[in-house]
Structures are given as structure tokens and as C-alpha cells.
Amino acid sequence: MDNFIFNIILFLGLVIAITIHEYSHALVADRFGDPTPRSYGRLSLNPLRHLDPLGTLMLLIAHFGWGKPVPIDPYNLSKKEESLVSLAGPASNFILAAVLSLILHFIPTIFLAVIIIRQLIVINISLAVFNLLPIPPLDGSKLFLNFLPQQQSLEWQKVFDQYGFFLLAILLFLPFGGSNLISLIISPIINLIANLLI
């Protein structure tokens, strides 16, 4: 029963983190004058607007998943604005983790509450760090392309279009040292940030 409750908390925490992440992309794009997210109904904190069916199923099965990418029109945005839209999702998760950290330090030490808040902090840090990896379709890939000169950006975009999803799948699902390559890359960063906040 304890394990069941923990899994429900984990699932709900991931849903909240993904919803805030995707909503933040939509909000910043909208503020910069791109009406695309609003026209697709993504300027909402309703999780149903942001959850991807397969990504949600993976949340239930593997405690790892994703939301639907927020559509934007890059012709409505400058390169700097597009980069800020990409950063908005991870930034929102870092901010939520920081707010939860403040709550954690001021609430009474009720065992269950502490466990839940700690788990929510780790979820948000993990989602933010993972999304900053420069691998498509993650937010970090857009940041990477926007910081390159135009010709190099176009060349890398072709590589990403051909191999990006395949590369992400290998990094996520190919076993390596009892885990996967992405965990080996991002776990030290997640642990460092979590130790600072918890």
C-alpha cells in the first residue's frame, strides 16, 4: 500500500511538473507575440492540454514520460526570443524546485510531507536538467542550434532531423552499467542541485 501511494504521488508530481514546463513555453512565446500556442489551446494549466498519450503511459509504466511539445512559429520570434521560449520550461521547473525547497525548510517535520516535497523537488530538477540536453526534441537542442552560426545551425539541424530521436532512444533505453547513458550523464548534476536545495 505504501508503494502504491508513493507511485501515485510520483505520477501526480510528474504530471504537475510537465504541465508547468509546457505551460511556461506557451506563456513566454505568447508574451513575445507568437499566437501559435494560444491558438492550439496550450496557454493553459490544464494537464490534459499538455499530456502526450504515449508519454503519459510511460509515466505509469516506467515513471518517466513527456508532454506534447508546445508548437511555436519561429518566424514570429527572434533567435533570442526563441531561445528564451526554450529556456522557459526548464527554468520553470528549477523555480518550482526552489520554491518547494523553501517550503521544505519551513514546514514542520511531518515525515510524509517531507518525503513528498523532496520527491517533487527531485522530479522538477530532473525534468529541467534532462530537457537542457542538446538532443532533439529536447529544449537544449533548440538552444544549441540558436547559439551556432546560421550555416552550422542548418547543418546540425539536418543531423538532428535524421538521427535525433534515434540517438535519444539509444541514450534512454540502451542498458549501460546497470542504468542508461543519460542517467550517467545527468545524475551527478541532479544530485548536486538536489543537495543544495534539500
DSSP assignment of 160-180, as one string?
Answer: HHHHHHHHHHHHHHSEETTEE
What's the pLDDT score for residue 40?
A: 95
Tens digits of pLDDT across the chain (198 residues): 567 777 788 888 889 999 999 999 999 999 999 999 999 999 999 999 998 887 777 777 766 777 889 999 999 999 999 999 999 999 999 999 999 999 888 876 666 778 888 889 999 999 999 999 998 888 999 999 999 998 999 899 998 888 888 888 888 777 776 777 888 888 999 999 999 998
| pLDDT given for residue 143 in this prediction | 93
- pLDDT at 105 (0 to 100): 83
Residue boundaries of the structural domains of the chain:
2-197
What is the sign, positive or negative, of the torsion defined by CA atoms of 177, 183, 188, 192? negative
Q: Which helix (H) or strand (E) holds 34?
A: none
The catalytic residues are 22
pLDDT at position 62, please?
65
pLDDT at 90: 96
